[in-house]
Amino acid sequence: MRDKNSKNKPYKNRTFFDSFRYAYQGVCTVFQEERNMRFHVLTTIVVLLVSLFLSLSISEWLWIFLVCFLVIVMEIWNTVIENTIDMFSPDYHPLAKKIKDMAAAAVLFTSIFSVVVGAIILLPKVLVFFHLY
């Protein structure tokens, strides 16, 4: 078996910059191919912009950053799983369905968690901002 760190491997990352470049390509791929990812990124930008006007505390900022990036990371993993399934099981298979459905369920739960955290932190401040409470 070939050594994972073999110098002869043609596709081995040579520098820290190489690793960063391929990770960036990965992000671009998910962004281009997954509509949900574009929605998550747009939502993240909106939430961060709204948060700027609401004078959040440090811990509130940390929670907002945590949930925004958690959803994006989960969507990347979901896409990794979908692509892996498509590579190894391009035809219909009940296990492929189970795996993809569970990966989607993980994104769903993370999204629900994010909405709950966002509502707890932002909703009262938005209401006060617009003099509705």
Catalytic machinery residues: 75
For ligand ATP, which is the closer residue by CB, 52 or 102? 102
Q: Is 22 annotated as a binding residue?
A: yes
Q: In the complex with ligand ATP, which residue's Cβ is closer, 96 or 126?
A: 96
Q: Which residue has the tokens 């993240």?
A: 44
Report the candidate in 129, 81, 84 with the shortest Cα–Cα distance to residue 102: 81
Backbone region of residue 15 per phi and psi (left: phi > 0; alpha: psi in -120 to 50; beta: other values): beta
Q: Which residue from 26, 115, 29, 24 is spatially nearest to 71, judged by alpha carbons?
A: 115
Touching ligand ATP, residues 41-100 (CB under 6 A): 78, 82, 85, 89, 92-93, 96-97, 100
**Residue 100 near residue 82 (C-beta atoms within 8 A):** yes
Size of the site for ligand ATP (CB under 6 A): 13
For ligand ATP, which is the closer residue by CB, 85 or 126?
A: 85
Determine, following the binding rule CB under 6 A, whether residue 106 of this chain makes contact with ligand ATP.
Answer: no
Q: Which residues are annotated as a binding site?
A: 22, 34, 75, 82, 100-101
Q: Which residues are annotated as a binding site for substrate?
A: 75
